[in-house]
């Protein structure tokens, strides 16, 4: 039984449809009930089973109620795929009166998955299950300007997840971090210049996640990531100076 958050669109939907071909039993979680019902129908048409739960993951009380419902499912939970996320690109100077940007991003990208993992840990321990976190390559590289809310929230959960990894592993639960580059989903649509960049398709990411379920590997990164990580390590200061210069020119000197 695989539990997928953010299952109504993009990567979550693609993973659900891919697993359906294997006859998996799915627990689909998202905020939009009517879209979840459509994904549920597609899963059934492909030979899988799916139960749906509409839940606002930014609401701790709603998440606690969801966890109670999940704990009562026959057969428990074997795999948690933490995919739900929110992206915000906004300059610091445009954020001085928008503290809510940071609280709502942290609520979905950090606090919600923490609450879910904590609540599902007993079920995962009993099944020798797996937690898969859909992360981003940004958390391993130099943080870019204008992405502070998103960057901090994703990095926070990444650090927390890597910290608890050995503990879960000692109990027989596998932990997998999927570090993704750009993926062509509705999340990146508001950033116009991303439309010109190369990006993975959600179906490609679904295949990566399915392979991680079979292999139970600790992480996935694009093949070129080691070069990018070493470059950021060796050239951190020049890169940060260059970013400052570019931003200064954009502000008119």
pLDDT tens per residue across span 59-109: 999 999 999 999 999 989 999 999 999 989 899 999 999 999 999 999 999
pLDDT of residue 192: 64
Question: Is 85 within 8 Å of 187 (Cβ atoms)?
Answer: yes
- State the average pLDDT for the chain: 93
Distance between CA atoms of residues 237 and 208, nearest Å: 34
pTM of the model: 0.93
Segment 190-214 mean pLDDT: 85
**Based on the number of CB atoms within 10 Å of its own CB, is 204 exposed (0-12), middle (13-18) or buried (19 or more)?**
middle
Closest CA to 149 of 235, 89, 216, 108: 89
Task: Report the percent of the chain where pLDDT is more than 70.
Answer: 95
pLDDT of residue 185: 77
Residues labelled as active-site residues: 150
């Amino acid at each position: 039984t695989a539990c997928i958050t953010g299952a109504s669109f993009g990567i979550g939907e693609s993973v659900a449809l891919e697993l359906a071909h294997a006859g998996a039993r799915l627990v689909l979680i998202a905020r939009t009930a009517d879209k979840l019902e459509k994904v549920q129908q597609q899963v059934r048409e492909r030979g899988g089973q799916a139960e749906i739960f509409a839940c606002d993951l930014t609401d701790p009380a709603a998440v606690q109620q969801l966890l109670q419902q999940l704990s009562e499912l026959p057969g428990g939970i074997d795999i948690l795929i933490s995919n739900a996320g929110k992206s915000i690109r906004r300059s610091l100077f445009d954020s001085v009166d928008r503290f809510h940007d940071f609280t709502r991003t942290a609520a979905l990208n950090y606090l919600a998955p923490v609450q879910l993992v904590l609540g599902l840990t007993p079920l995962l321990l009993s099944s020798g299950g797996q937690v898969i976190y859909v992360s981003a390559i940004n958390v391993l590289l130099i943080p870019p300007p204008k992405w502070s809310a998103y960057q901090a929230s994703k990095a926070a959960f990444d650090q927390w997840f890597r910290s608890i990894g050995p503990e879960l592993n000692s109990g027989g639960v596998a932990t997998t971090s999927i570090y993704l580059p750009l993926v062509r989903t509705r999340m990146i649509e508001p950033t116009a210049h991303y439309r010109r960049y190369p990006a993975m398709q959600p179906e490609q990411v679904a295949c990566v996640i399915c392979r991680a379920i079979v292999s139970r590997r600790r992480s996935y990164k694009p093949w070129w990531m080691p070069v990018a990580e070493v470059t950021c390590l060796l050239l951190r200061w020049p890169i940060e100076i260059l970013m400052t210069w570019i931003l200064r020119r954009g502000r008119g000197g």
